[in-house]
């Protein structure tokens, strides 16, 4: 009897320690960087059929795809696009539900073009050029199905928007300039506003962007708001909302993606240290709206964080 009671007590203590009696599970944690390979930057992530696909700047000649089920553990996959030129940066991939095609908006030698594939990890075939003297394309589809291309026009690092008729075709309207570098944080280490990313919440459009030189530790993230996808946009007075601090250096140029529980995550790059420019890797942090509609973010490095909820399979 004593042995039986001892065994039961030990089992109960074990269950309590594991949270089993209360239905509690140990929360998974992670720490940045989530991809510690030096080089990948400017990440764009899409979720498709229970898996995340990431497309970053990489070897300066091509794009590779990385895959994950939880935003934390990534596997480097195939080279999906190689235009045969140098200065290949900042991809953006858009899934068009109408034709089930994946559209890769690429920057090559300060020119934006589009390539198309049948699957997210397939070979993308070049289709056409869209903008000259431009970088950092981002396609946004509004709730009414209308398409808008946000990008950076050079010189001057001015963020523009172009209405699109289809994922491959501009409409007849001219591009509209939305913002340019004017604030102190945007001009601290070079006059730059770049890496546009659009969010929409309660009929308000939030244009996220990165400011100052991407090769500096002062690179940071802010946003501007409007009631229309084509502006006018007003910069948030509390910018930048994500900036260097502690060991997080030069956080910026990322995307926002939701986990399996619907929480928003900012996938971005940081500088490893100040030893040389472009010494970058991929990081992951929470981003969220408060009850007043203010967008908040953070940048962490090495400190354990609660991990995202994986996508349902």
Give me 267's structure tokens.
Answer: 């996938």
Query: Which residues, 6+ apart, have CB-to-CB distance to 2 below 8 Å?
Result: none
- Tell me if 102 sits within 8 A of 118, measured CB to CB: yes
| pLDDT at 285 (0 to 100) | 98
Coil, helix or strand at residue 44: strand
> In 168-261, which ranges are continuous DSSP H helix?
none
Which stretches in the chain have pLDDT values below 70?
1-26
Q: Taking the domains of the chain in order of start, what are their residue ranges?
A: 42-306
Sheet holding 88-96, edge to edge: 88-96, 101-108, 111-117, 125-132
The rounded distance, in Å, linking the Cα atoms of 171 and 163 is: 6
| pLDDT at 17 (0 to 100) | 42
Buried-exposed string 115-147: b where 16+ CB fall within 10 A, e elsewhere: bbbeebbeebebeeebbeebbbbbbbbeeeeeb
Q: Which CATH architecture has domain 42-306?
A: 5 Propeller (2.115)
| pLDDT at 26 (0 to 100) | 63
Sheet holding 234-235, edge to edge: 193-201, 204-211, 220-226, 234-235
Give me 66's structure tokens.
Answer: 């990385």
pLDDT tens sequence across 15-73: 334 443 343 456 799 999 999 999 999 999 999 999 999 999 999 999 999 999 999 99
| pLDDT at 294 (0 to 100) | 98
| pLDDT at 27 (0 to 100) | 75
The rounded distance, in Å, linking the Cα atoms of 242 and 211 is: 10
> Cis link prior to 155 (omega < 30° from 0)?
yes
- Tell me if 177 sits within 8 A of 158, measured CB to CB: yes
Whole-number Cα distances in Å, 74 to 5, 70, 71, 282, 312: 46, 8, 7, 10, 17
**Residue 299 DSSP code:** -
Coil, helix or strand at residue 68: strand
The rounded distance, in Å, linking the Cα atoms of 44 and 61 is: 17
């Amino acid at each position: 009897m004593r042995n039986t009671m001892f065994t039961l007590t030990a089992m109960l203590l074990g269950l309590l320690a594991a949270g089993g009696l209360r239905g509690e599970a140990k929360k998974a944690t992670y720490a940045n960087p989530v991809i510690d390979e030096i080089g990948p930057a400017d990440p764009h992530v899409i979720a498709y059929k229970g898996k995340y696909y990431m497309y970053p700047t990489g070897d300066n000649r091509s794009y590779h795809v990385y895959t994950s089920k939880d935003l934390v553990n990534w596997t480097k996959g195939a080279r999906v696009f190689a235009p045969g030129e140098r200065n290949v940066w900042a991809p953006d991939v858009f899934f068009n539900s109408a034709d089930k095609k994946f559209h890769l908006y690429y920057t090559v030698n300060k020119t934006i073009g589009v390539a198309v594939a049948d699957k997210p990890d397939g070979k993308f075939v070049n289709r056409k050029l869209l903008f000259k003297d431009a970088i950092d394309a981002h396609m946004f589809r509004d709730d009414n199905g209308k398409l808008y291309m946000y990008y950076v026009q050079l010189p001057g690092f001015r963020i523009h928007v172009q209405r699109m008729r289809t994922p491959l075709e501009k409409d007849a309207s001219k591009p509209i300039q939305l913002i340019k570098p004017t604030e102190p944080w945007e001009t601290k280490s070079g006059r730059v506003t770049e890496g546009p990313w659009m969010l929409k919440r309660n009929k308000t459009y939030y244009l996220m962007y990165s400011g100052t030189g991407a090769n500096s530790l002062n690179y940071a993230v802010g946003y501007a708001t409007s009631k229309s996808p084509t502006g006018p946009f007003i910069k948030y007075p509390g910018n930048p909302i994500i900036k260097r601090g502690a060991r997080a250096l030069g956080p910026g140029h990322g995307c926002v993606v939701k986990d399996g529980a619907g929480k928003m995550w900012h996938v971005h790059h940081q500088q490893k240290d100040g030893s040389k420019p472009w010494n970058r890797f991929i990081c992951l942090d929470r981003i969220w709206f408060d009850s007043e509609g203010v967008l908040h973010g953070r940048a962490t490095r090495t400190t354990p964080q609660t991990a995202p909820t994986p996508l349902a399979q």
